[in-house]
Chains A and B, each alone.
Chain A
Amino acid sequence: MKAYVDTFGVVAQIALRNLFASTWKTLIVGGIIGFGAFLVVLGTSLLDSVDESMSRSIIGSVAGDVQVYSSRSTEDLDVMGGFSFDANAIEPLPDFAQVRTSVESVANVASVVPMGINNSLVVSGNTVDQALERLRALVTARAQQAPRPAGDAGYTAAKGHVRQIITVLSGDIANVRQLQDEKSLALEDLSSVTRAASDEFWSGFDADPLNALEFLENRIAPLATDADMLFLRYIGTDPSAFAQAFDRMTVVLGEPIPEGQRGFMFSNYVYEEQVKLKTARGLDKIRDARNNRGAKIATDPDLKRLVHEASTQVKELLLQLDAPKTELFRSKLQGYLASSESGVGKLLESFLSMTDENFDERYAYFYRELAPSLELYRVRIGDPLTIKAFTRSGYVQSANLKVYGTFSFKGLEKSPQAGSLNMMDLVSFRELYGFMTEDRQREIALLRASSGAQDVNRENAESELFGAAPAAPAPTANPAGGSPADAHLPRDSDFGEALASLAGSRRGDNDAGSGYDAAQLRQGVILNAAVLLKDDGQIDETIAAIEAAGQRDGLPLKAISWQKAAGLVGQFTVLMRVVLYTAVLIIFVVALVIINNALVMATLERVREIGTLRAVGAQRRFVLAMLVFESIVVGLSFGAVGALLGGALVALLGKIGIPAVNDVFMFFFSGPRLYPALGTQNLVIALVVVLIVSVASSIYPAWIAMRISPREAMQSED
Chain B
Amino acid sequence: MQAIVSIQNATKDYHLGKVVVPALRGVSLDVMQGDFLSIAGPSGSGKTTLLNLIGCVDTPSAGTVEVAGRNTALLSERELTSLRLHTIGFIFQSFNLVGVLDVYRNVELPLLLQGTLSGAERKQRVSALLDRVGLQEHARHRPNELSGGQRQRVAIARALVTRPRLVLADEPTANLDSVTGQNILDLMKELNRTEKTTFIFSTHDARVMAHATSLVRLADGKLAERANAPSAAELAEVAEHAPDARAGAAS
Where the two chains meet, the residues of A that have a C-beta atom closer than 8 Å to any C-beta of B are 2-4, 6-7, 9-10, 13-14, 17-18, 21, 608-609, 611-620, 622, 709-711, 713-718
Contact = CB atoms under 8 A, between A and B. Distances in A.
Contact of B51 (A14, A609, A714): A714
B35 interface: no
Contacts of A709: 57-58
Contacts of B81: 614, 617-620, 710
Interface in B168-193: 170-171, 174
Contacts of B249: 716, 718
Interface of B: 48, 51-52, 55, 57-58, 77-78, 81-82, 84-86, 90, 92-94, 96-101, 105, 108-110, 112-116, 118-119, 158, 162, 170-171, 174, 249-250
Given A6-B115, A615-B84, A718-B249, A17 B52 contact: no
Contacts of B171: 716
Given A2-B118, A4-B115, A7-B112, A616 B84 contact: yes
Nearest to A611: B96
A618 B55 contact: no
A710 B116 contact: no
B96 A608 contact: yes
Contacts of B58: 709, 711
Nearest to A613: B98
B110 A616 contact: yes
Nearest to A17: B100
Contacts of A14: 98, 100-101
Given A3-B115, A717-B94, A617 B85 contact: yes
Contacts of A13: 100-101, 105
B211 to A, nearest CB: 21
Residue of A4, A7, A10, A616 most packed against chain B (CB within 10 A): A616
Given A616-B84, A618-B81, 6 more contacts: A7-B112, A615-B55, A710-B84, A714-B92, A716-B171, A717-B93
B95 to A, nearest CB: 9
Contact of A713 (B85, B90, B99, B119): B90
Contacts of A710: 57, 81, 84
A710 B81 CA distance: 9
Contacts of B105: 10, 13
Majority secondary structure of chain A interface residues (helix, strand, loop or mixed): helix
B39 to A, nearest CB: 13
A7 B114 CA distance: 9
Given A608-B96, A713-B96, A617 B84 contact: yes
Contacts of B96: 608-609, 611-612, 615, 713
Residue of B55, B92, B105 most packed against chain A (CB within 10 A): B92
Top 5 A-B pairs ranked by shortest CB distance? A617-B85, A3-B115, A17-B100, A710-B57, A612-B96
A7 B90 contact: no
Contacts of A620: 77-78, 81
Given A14-B100, A18-B100, A713 B112 contact: no
Contact of B98 (A609, A622, A714, A715): A609
B22 to A, nearest CB: 17
14 contacts: A2-B119, A4-B115, A14-B100, A609-B96, A612-B98, A615-B55, A615-B57, A617-B110, A618-B81, A618-B85, A622-B113, A714-B57, A716-B250, A718-B249
